[in-house]
A and B are shown apart, each in its own frame.
Chain A
Amino acid sequence: MRFELEHASVRYPRILALDNVSLSIASGERVALVGPSGAGKTTLLGLLHGGVRPSAGTVRVDDRVLGEMSMKDLRATRLAMGFVPQSFGLVPESRVLQNVAAGRVGTRNWFGTLRDFLAPSRDTVREIHETLERVGISEKLYERVDTLSGGQQQRVAVARALFQKPRSLLADEPISSVDPSRARATVGLLSDLAQERELTLLVSLHQYELARELFPRLIGLREGRVHFDSPSSKVSESMFRDLYELDVTSS
Chain B
Amino acid sequence: MTWYRRRTVLLFMALAGLGAGFYLGLDPRTLVEPRTLRVLADFFGASFKPTLIAADGHSLWPAIWSGLLATASFAAAGMSLAIVFGAGLSFLATSGWWDGERAGRYHRFLGATVTAAARALIAAMRSVHELLWAMLFLAAFGLSPITGVIALAIPYGGTLAKVWSEILDEAPQDAANALRAAGGSPVQVWFLGLVPRVADDLASYGFYRFECALRSSAVLGFLGLPTLGYHVSLSFDNLLYRETWTFLYILFGLIVAVELWSSVLRKRRGWA
Contact = CB atoms under 8 A, between A and B. Distances in A.
17 contacts: A67-B102, A67-B103, A68-B104, A71-B101, A71-B107, A83-B181, A85-B177, A89-B177, A89-B179, A91-B192, A92-B197, A93-B197, A102-B184, A105-B184, A105-B185, A105-B188, A106-B184
B102 A51 contact: yes
B253 interface: no
Contact of A105 (B101, B104, B182, B196): B182
Interface in B104-152: 104, 107
Interface in A12-55: 49-53
B13 interface: no
Nearest to B181: A83
Interface stretch (A72-80, A120-128, A133-141): A72-80
Contacts, number: 99
B192 A105 contact: yes
A51 B199 contact: no
A95 to B, nearest CB: 11
B206 interface: no
Nearest to A84: B178
B187 interface: yes
Interface of A: 49-53, 66-71, 74-83, 85, 87-94, 98, 102-108, 110, 113, 117, 157, 160, 164
Please classify the interface of chain B as helix (H, G, I), strand (E, B), loop, or mixed, using the class held by over half of its residues: helix
Contacts of A81: 181
Nearest to A71: B103
B87 to A, nearest CB: 14
B178 A83 contact: yes
Contact of A83 (B107, B182, B197): B182
A113 B180 contact: no
Given A51-B181, A78-B180, A105-B182, A93 B174 contact: no
B63 interface: no
B45 interface: no
Contacts of B101: 71, 74
A75 to B, nearest CB: 5
Contact of A53 (B102, B187, B192): B102
Contacts of B196: 91, 93-94
A66 B102 CA distance: 9
Interface of B: 100-104, 107, 174-175, 177-185, 187-188, 191-193, 196-197, 199
Given A78-B180, A91-B197, A67 B104 contact: yes
A69 B183 contact: no
B183 A76 contact: yes
A225 B217 CA distance: 64
Nearest to B191: A113
A81 B174 CA distance: 17
A49 B101 CA distance: 12
A90 B104 contact: no
Given A67-B102, A83-B182, A85-B177, 17 more contacts: A51-B100, A51-B102, A53-B102, A67-B103, A69-B103, A70-B104, A74-B101, A74-B102, A89-B175, A89-B178, A90-B178, A91-B197, A102-B192, A105-B188, A106-B183, A106-B184, A108-B188
A88 B173 CA distance: 11
B175 A90 contact: yes
Contact of B174 (A71, A85, A110): A85
